[in-house]
DNA sequence: GTGATAGTTCAACGCTCGTTGAACTATCAC
DNA sequence: GTGATAGTTCAACGAGCGTTGAACTATCAC
């Protein structure tokens, strides 16, 4: 997953996942599903949102892989949604690794007077 | 911070932070700052972005509290940016707690045939 | 087959926000 | 004071996307 030096593809993937989760109503849906499996109408009632809007958001979460679907065995009209535990764990790990404070390096600026002082042997390399 | 049952204010705060970080160029800026203190032009060169756009994104990161500013002691035109380590740690903890897989509960749906079966004593409570 | 129910899809609107270009501010060297 | 430099702010444009309302699909009971 994310190493000390994240690749561009890793960053883009993380940004895409963060964007999905950054929408307040989707985050609320995820929070509710963390509390247990629920159907569209239950989510809608809890969040005061219309069924089609719930469907819309759930679709985005499903496309991301974070939410899974199961139809009722007795009556297929009922659809239950749940969190994909393994992807959630992966996401938590990715985020934790990327935003790990111990990853902050001591490197000083290569530009400006302070930059020139600290990296005297890199002055020629400093473009700005 | 985030407890097992996140409050609405907690969710909104988390969503706001996620939204800041979800923008790909801002995430790239954060990644670069994780590798060490840098100035506007260094970030701009690395990401092929104009100074004003870098300023714009840095402002948003500063307003969130994640990025800190220091002017060069010799020449105040030079401004160095760095990551606020304590806020980063807080963010990582918040995210990790919210998206902790062990937080997923076993609750079954209160709606539909499966819901009625599992929670026979809650049937009257099921609205949908 | 008809009507009800649970949920999905479609399309349009309006809001948000990233980007671009211009202008501005502060600092420095001469 | 002038010109250069590092960075910031402002305003406008257009892309993206959440929401709304309507229509649709699938399933069920009778």
Structural tokens at position B71 = 């002017």
Question: Beta carbon of A73 within 7 Å of strand D?
Answer: no
- What is the DSSP secondary structure assignment for residue A108, as one 8-state letter? P
The three-class DSSP label of residue A122 is helix
B114 within some domain: no
Q: What is the pLDDT of residue B125?
A: 42
Q: Which residue has the higher pLDDT, A109 or B74?
A: B74
Work out the mean pLDDT of chain B and round it to a whole number: 87
Q: What is the pLDDT of residue A115?
A: 57
B54 within some domain: yes
If we measure between CA atoms, which residue out of A57, A47, A111, A100 comes closest to residue A81? A57
Q: What is the pLDDT of residue A110?
A: 79
Structural tokens at position A64 = 């991301």
Q: Output the domain CATH number for residue B58.
A: 1.10.10.10
What percent of chain A is modeled with pLDDT above 90?
73
**How many domains in chain A?**
1
Contacts of A112 in chain B (CB under 8 A): 39, 72, 74-75, 77-78, 80
A108 within some domain: no
Q: What is the pLDDT of residue B124?
A: 39
Q: What is the pLDDT of residue B113?
A: 80
A120 within some domain: no
pLDDT at B22 over 80: yes
Q: What is the pLDDT of residue A108?
A: 74
A87 within some domain: yes
Nearest-Cα distance to chain B for A63, in Å, is 17
Question: Is residue B29 less than 8 Å (CB to CB) from chain A?
Answer: no
A83 within some domain: yes
Contact B47, B39 (CB under 8 A): no
Domain that holds residue A68: 8-103
Low-confidence winner among A36-40, A74-78, B69-73, B119-123 (lowest mean pLDDT): B119-123
Q: Which residue has the higher pLDDT, A110 or A35?
A: A35
A82 within some domain: yes
Find where tokens 């160095």 sit.
Answer: B80
Find where tokens 């979800």 sit.
Answer: B22
* Nearest nucleotide from residue A109 CA, by C1' atom: D6
Q: How confident is the model at residue B35 (pLDDT cuts 50, 70, 90)?
A: very high
* Nearest nucleotide from residue B49 CA, by C1' atom: C19
pLDDT at B123 over 70: no
Q: How confident is the model at residue A20 (pLDDT cuts 50, 70, 90)?
A: very high
Q: How confident is the model at residue A1 (pLDDT cuts 50, 70, 90)?
A: very low
Contact A79, A62 (CB under 8 A): no
pLDDT at B40 over 70: yes
Q: Which residues contact B70 (CB under 8 A, 6 or more apart)?
A: B37, B79, B80, B81, B82
B31 within some domain: yes
Q: Which residue has the higher pLDDT, B14 or A9?
A: B14
Among the partner-chain residues A6, A22, A41, the one whose CB lies closest to the CB of B22 is: A22
């Amino acid at each position: 997953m994310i190493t000390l030096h994240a690749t561009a593809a890793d960053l883009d993937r993380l940004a895409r996942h963060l964007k999905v989760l950054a929408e307040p109503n989707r985050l609320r849906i995820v929070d509710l599903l963390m509390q247990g499996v629920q159907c569209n109408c239950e989510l809608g009632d809890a969040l005061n949102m219309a069924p089609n809007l719930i469907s819309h958001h759930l679709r985005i979460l499903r496309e991301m892989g974070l939410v899974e679907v199961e139809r009722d065995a007795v009556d297929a009209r009922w659809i239950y949604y749940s969190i994909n535990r393994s992807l959630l764990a992966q996401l938590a790990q990715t985020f934790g690794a990327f935003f790990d404070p111990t990853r902050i390096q001591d490197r000083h600026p290569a530009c400006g007077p302070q930059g020139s002082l600290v990296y005297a042997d890199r002055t020629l390399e400093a473009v700005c």
